[in-house]
Chain A
Amino acid sequence: DVKVTQSSRYLVKRTGEKVFLECVQDMDHENMFWYRQDPGLGLRLIYFSYDVKMKEKGDIPEGYSVSREKKERFSLILESASTNQTSMYLCASSRRDRSYEQYFGPGTRLTVT
């Protein structure tokens, strides 16, 4: 059974803290994605990566960075967390030749106080 796992289901951090969200996939997928989901806004793409050490900005990259040192792992970094980054964060992966069929992790609900 294919799997995308995220390091935490729930996370509470303080304003200004550096936050790391980890995502691991076991499907040998080339592509990996980070989204945030907010009520009334749907899923918005933060960053994506189509290969190790490669990254592309999505629609809302401000305040975030990413790291992909290994094919199976994609990390999202909030350099200095702010309250407007309180959200549900979803990681996904896909094959390069079927990039539209994305497999999602269960999400991390991040609260920044």
Chain B
Amino acid sequence: DQQVKQNSPSLSVQEGRISILNCDYTNSMFDYFLWYKKYPAEGPTFLISISSIKDKNEDGRFTVFLNKSAKHLSLHIVPSQPGDSAVYFCAASAPKSSGDKLTFGTGTRLAVRP
């Protein structure tokens, strides 16, 4: 049972344009959401997060939007750069009573074309 879903395995975007990566979840107990970025031959690195009490969080070129009613979040990268080419994982965390676990999505491979 995949509680966090990334339905697009890949995305290709022109440099300078907006990249939009999407993520859906099914567990209404999730209260914190994150995006991780992974380059080949490296471990994932934390990119940006959002609490369920907010609907938007911005950090430079990266913005995460949360729509709780739709159980959907998205990561916007503006403007996209070739160095953004990587696999992006969406992740979610439930309250402390469920432990310190993150549940990850399957990832979306972003390619930014020069």
List the interface of chain A (C-beta within 8 A of B).
Answer: 4, 31, 35, 40-45, 48, 50, 56, 58-59, 90, 92, 94, 96, 99-107
Contacts and interface: CB of A to CB of B under 8 A. Distances in A.
Given A50-B100, A58-B101, A100-B34, A42 B44 contact: no
B96 to A, nearest CB: 8
A48 B107 CA distance: 21
A25 B43 CA distance: 14
A42 B104 contact: yes
Contact of A100 (B4, B42, B49): B49
24 contacts: A4-B43, A31-B100, A35-B104, A40-B9, A41-B106, A42-B6, A42-B89, A42-B107, A43-B89, A43-B104, A48-B101, A50-B100, A59-B103, A94-B100, A96-B100, A100-B34, A100-B49, A100-B102, A101-B34, A102-B44, A102-B46, A105-B43, A106-B42, A107-B43
A52 B41 CA distance: 29
Given A90-B43, A100-B34, A42 B105 contact: yes
Contacts of A50: 99-100
Interface of B: 4, 6, 9, 32, 34, 41-46, 49, 89, 91, 93, 99-107
Contacts of A102: 44, 46, 102
Contact of A45 (B41, B42, B45, B102): B102
B62 to A, nearest CB: 15
A56 B32 contact: no
Nearest to B96: A99
